[in-house]
Amino acid sequence: MLLFLARKTLGMLVTALCLTLIVFFLTNLSPNLEKLAKSELGARITDDEVASWLDKNGYAQPTLVRYGEWLGVLPGWTRDNDGEFTGRCIDGKADAETAASASRFCGVVQGDWGESSVFKRDVGEVVSRALKLTGKLMLCVMLVMVPGALIVGVLAGMREGSRLDRSLSTLSILTTATPEYVSGVVLVAIFASSAVGLKWLNGSATSAMDNITIANFTLPVLTIALYGMGYIARMTRASMTEVMTAQYIRTARLKGVSFYNVVMKHALRNALIAPFTVIMLQFPWLLNGVVIVETLFNYKGFGWTLVQAASNNDIELLLAVSVVSVFVVLISQLISDIGYVFLNPRIRIT
């Protein structure tokens, strides 16, 4: 088991390194850097000025070297401008003494994520605040979505072809066909718009950042949950119908087990193996939903931060955001692998 975990973690690290390298490369392409220089100094600077600004701020080095610095495995750059020292690990300008005493490495490994150029604050701080907010949202989504989807799926799948099955299946298909930006708009139009007059709920979740109420949090949670729910419910239903036609269910039935017990004792565990993996692999998609919903409802969580970072080419923030999201995806894959092993006795790791 430990060996299995070690191998998985190693694979995860390699993937994360590759992905951050790609993100680093894409965000540090010369047009992006040029745009950054112009946003710092004004749009009307000459190419020479751009070049000298980039040089001064350490952007002129080869991409791989700077990636190493960002990671914290290569020493950060320093620069001596006639006694005034600047550098990756030095805040602003400093004299020789401070510069010498500053640490040589400052990157992700050391816990230094750099500074956000949009929010003018430490990236670590921005991201962790955003993550906390998104965490709350995701928790609510999970609490609504997973039990809901499983119940719908199991109910639909236990008697294939019944009216209940058909009604629930139609409902699931409908929600999977409704992306968040459609369902969000429709829900807001129905429940929050002044034009219709229902006005039961809030069309914005900004106030939920401090104080969660039913009025300001229902719509965002529902919007994300609905889309994922249909998908998971369909998977559960497919898995359930397959299990219900399995030979061992017939065995159980012909042993005299009642229908309720056939479903609860014999079918359920086997039927949940497949959806469990699906739920875990659903995380990358949920992230998508989070970005859309946070933008739509103006909830300043992780997704909103991602959009801000990406649209303003905030390199350091964007890198941190991608690292976090990649890890979320990879960890959910890891959990799904481990959980699969526990749910399915046929696979045992010695």
Partner 1 sequence: MIDQDYDGPILEIDKLSISFFTRLREIPAVMDFSGKIMPGEALGLVGESGCGKSTVALGVMQDLGVNGRIVGGSIKFKGQELTTMSPDKLREIRGSQIAMIYQEPMASLNPAMKIGKQLAEVPMIHDGITEKEAMQRAFEVVTDVKLPDPKRMLNSYPHQLSGGQQQRIVIAMALMSKPALLILDEPTTALDVTVEAAVVELVKDLGKKYGTSMLFISHNLGLVLETCDRINVMYSGEAVERGSIEEVFDHMRHPYTQALFRSIPLPGADKNARPLIAIPGNFPLPHERPEGCNFGPRCDYFEAGRCDAGFIPMAQVEGNDRHQTRCLRFQEIDWKAPINVGEIKEKPEPGPVVLKMDNLKKYYEVAANALLGGGDKKVVKANETLSFEARESETLAIVGESGCGKSTFAKVLMGLETATDGQILLDNQSIGDVPIENRSTSNVADIQMVFQNPFDTLNPSMTVGRQIMRALEIFRIGKNDDARRQRMLELLDLVKLPRAFADRMPRQLSGGQKQRVGIARAFAGDARIVVADEPVSALDVSVQAAVTDLLMEIQREQKTTLLFISHDLSIVRYLSDRVMVMYLGHVVELGSTDQVFAPPYHPYTEALLSAVPIADTSVTKKHIVLEGDIPSAMNPPTGCPFQTRCRWKSQVAGNKCETEVPKQQIMAQRHQIKCHLGAEDFASMEPVITIAAE
Partner 2 sequence: MEPLTWTGTIGTFVNPIFSITAIAFGLAVVAQIVLSFFAPAVTLQANADGTLQQRGGAFGLAEKAVKLLLIANVALILVYLVGGILLPYGDAGIIGAISKRFLPVWIALILTFGVSITFKRRLGLYGKLFDSTVGMIGFALVMFWVFTAVLAGLFDLIATYDPLSQISGLKNKVPGFPVTDERKLGAVPHYLLGGDNLARDVFSRMVYGSTVVISIAPLATLVAFMVGITLGLPAGYFSGRLDTLLTFLSNLILAFPVILLFYLLVTPEIIQTGIPSYMAMILFIFPVVFFVVLLNARFYTQPSKRNPILIGVLAVLGYFYLSTISQPGTVVHFLPAWLDLFDIPGGILVVFVSVVFVNSPTVFRIVRGLTLDLRTRDYVAAAQTRGERPWYIMLWEILPNARGPLIVDFCLRIGYTTILLGTLGFFGLGLPPESPDWGSTINAGRRLLSTYIHPPLAPAGALLTLVLGLNLLADGLREESLKD
The binding site for partner 1 (CB under 8 A) comprises 3-4, 7, 161, 246-248, 250-258, 265-266, 269-270, 273, 343-347, 349-350
32 contact choice in partner 1, partner 2, none (CB below 5 to 8 Å, kind-dependent): partner 2
In the sheet with 78-81, reading across from the earlier edge strand, the strands are: 78-81, 84-87, 90-94
Residue nearer to partner 1 on the CB measure, 4 or 200: 4
Name the binder of 134 from partner 1, partner 2, none, CB < 5-8 A by kind.
none
Comparison of 103 and 258: residue with beta carbon closer to partner 1: 258
E strand or H helix at 94: strand 90-94
DSSP strand E in the chain: where? 78-81, 84-87, 90-94
For helices 63-71 and 2-27, angle between their N-to-C axes, nearest 10 degrees: 130
Partner whose footprint covers residue 226, from partner 1, partner 2, none (CB < 5 to 8 Å by kind) = none
Partner whose binding site includes residue 325, from partner 2, partner 1, none (CB under 5 to 8 Å by kind) = partner 2
Nearer to partner 1, 7 or 199 (CB): 7
> What does residue 186 show for φ and ψ, rounded to 5 degrees?
-65, -45
Least CB distance to partner 1 at residue 329 (A): 23
With respect to partner 1, which residue has the nearer C-beta, 222 or 272?
Answer: 272
Binder of residue 4, out of partner 2, partner 1, none (CB less than 5 to 8 A by kind): partner 1
**Positive or negative: CA dihedral 29, 32, 37, 38:** positive
Indicate the residue among 272 and 309 with the shorter CB distance to partner 2.
309
Smallest distance, partner 2 to C-beta of residue 83, A: 36
- Rounded Cα distance between 20 and 145, Å, is 31
> What are the beta bridge partners of residue 287?
none
Is the distance from CB of 252 to CB of 187 less than 8 angstroms? no
In angstroms, rounded to a whole number, what is the distance separating the alpha carbons of residues 278 and 275?
5
User: Quick check: helix, strand or coil at residue 42?
Assistant: coil
* Shortest distance, position 237 Cβ to partner 1, whole Å: 17
Structure tokens at 265: 């004792």
- Please, which residue, 31 or 83, has the CB nearer to partner 2? 31
- Please identify, using beta-carbon distances, which residue of 263 and 286 lies nearer to partner 1: 263
Contacts (Cβ under 8 Å, ≥6 apart) of 24: 63, 66, 67, 70, 319
Could you say which of partner 1, partner 2, none residue 43 binds, taking C-beta under 5 to 8 angstroms by partner kind? none
**Smallest distance, partner 1 to C-beta of residue 11, A:** 12
Pairing outcome for strands 78-81 and 84-87: antiparallel
Output the smallest distance, CB 201 to partner 2, in A.
12
Q: Which of 184, 215, 203 is nearest to 292 (CA)?
A: 184
Q: Tokens 């490369």 sit at which residue? A: 25
For partner 2, the binding residues (CB under 8 A) are: 15, 18-19, 23, 26-27, 29-32, 34-35, 162-164, 167, 173-174, 176-179, 181-182, 184-186, 188-189, 192-196, 203, 259, 284, 287-288, 291-292, 295-296, 303, 306-307, 310-311, 313, 321-322, 325-326, 329-330, 333
Sign of CA dihedral 159, 165, 168, 171: positive
Compute CA 107 distance to the chain's CA centroid, rounded to the nearest angstrom: 22
Smallest gap from residue 165 Cβ to partner 1 (A): 12
